[in-house]
């Protein structure tokens, strides 16, 4: 069920619990600003999630309220994870879902990194 990205941050969301260590995850990277983990239900050969450590509901919330340091740290972490996975030369795709039309299900900002195979058309279109 897609979330409402205009609601306040919910400290009980699954990624908050992963960040606090309450719920285990397959960690692939961590620094002061970001944490990366393998998606539990991968949609491509490589499907990794990068989340900021701060309490941000969505890309909208983050881009409006995060500090310059948080934004820089998070963006660099996404690039670092993709490089570490060898995705630059073959190419990859980044995705951040926001709210209902985006199909966002977890109310803590996350960027999906997809790769390891050709990824097909950019967006699904109803015939």
Catalytic residue check, 108: no
97 forms part of the interface with ligand 5GP (CB under 6 A): yes
Residue with token string 């660099």 = 76
Site string for ligand 5GP, 15-54 (x = CB under 6 A): ----------x-----------xxxxx-------------
Binder among 106, 109, 111, 113 for ligand 5GP (CB under 6 A): 106
Alpha carbon separation from 66 to 16, 75, 103, 124 (Å, rounded):
17, 12, 23, 31
Q: Tell which residue, 27, 106, 98, has the closest CA to residue 62.
A: 98
Q: What residues make contact with ligand 5GP under the rule CB under 6 A?
A: 14, 25, 37-41, 97, 103-106
């Amino acid at each position: 069920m897609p979330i409402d990205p205009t609601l306040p941050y919910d400290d009980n969301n699954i990624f908050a619990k992963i960040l606090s260590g309450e719920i285990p995850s397959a960690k692939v990277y961590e620094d002061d600003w970001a944490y990366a983990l393998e998606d539990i239900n991968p949609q491509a050969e490589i499907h990794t999630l990068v989340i900021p450590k701060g309490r941000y509901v969505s890309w909208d919330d983050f881009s409006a309220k995060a500090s310059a340091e948080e934004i820089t740290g998070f963006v660099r972490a996404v690039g670092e994870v993709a490089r570490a996975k060898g995705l630059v030369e073959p190419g990859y795709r980044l995705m951040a879902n926001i709210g209902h039309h985006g199909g966002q299900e977890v109310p803590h900002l996350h960027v999906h990194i997809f790769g390891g195979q050709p990824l097909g058309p950019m967006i699904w279109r109803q015939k």
